[in-house]
Amino acid sequence: MKTEILHSKLERYLAGKAMPAETRQIQAWLSCTEKDAQLSPEEKSLLELEILHEIQAYTAYPLFYPKKKESWWQKFAAFF
């Protein structure tokens, strides 16, 4: 499919003006998850932290809602 055609289809879909067939086509594409991409464990943990830091930087929630330090018995109890 030509990108121009797809672009106009997506425009209509986002505006809620797509034809039923176009909606079905786009939704079929969105639902098609046969082959999943994979991340290595190192890559995954690094990315996980990076995105979380970006969220924290944007919302600044650690500044407004700092974490309370757990007491020793709470840390101990968490193991059980």
Partner 1 sequence: MSRIVIEDQALIDHLSVNDTDAFEELYHRYWCSLYLYCLKKLHSPEAARIIVRDIFISIWEKRHELPVTFSISSHLYAEVRKQVVKSLNNKLADVHEAPCIEAWLSKEFSVESLQAARNPVCKIRIINKPSELIRQQTNMMNKTEGQTTLEHIKWIFHSLTNRLSLTNILSYYKN
**Where along the sequence are the contacts to partner 1 (CB under 8 A)?**
1-3, 6-7, 10-11, 13-14, 25-26, 28-39, 44, 47-48, 50-52, 54-55, 58-59, 61-62, 64-65, 67, 78-80
Q: DSSP string of 18-45? A: --HHHHHHHHHHHH---SPP---HHHHH
Comparison of 17 and 35: residue with beta carbon closer to partner 1: 35
- Listed in sequence order, the residues at least 6 apart from 56 whose beta carbon sits closer than 8 Å to its beta carbon are 62
Comparison of 3 and 71: residue with beta carbon closer to partner 1: 3
Whole-number minimum distance, CB 25 to partner 1, in Å? 7
Whole-number minimum distance, CB 42 to partner 1, in Å? 14
Closest CA to 13 of 28, 35, 33, 32: 28
- For the beta carbon of residue 59, count every other beta carbon within 10 angstroms: 11
Whole-number minimum distance, CB 20 to partner 1, in Å? 15
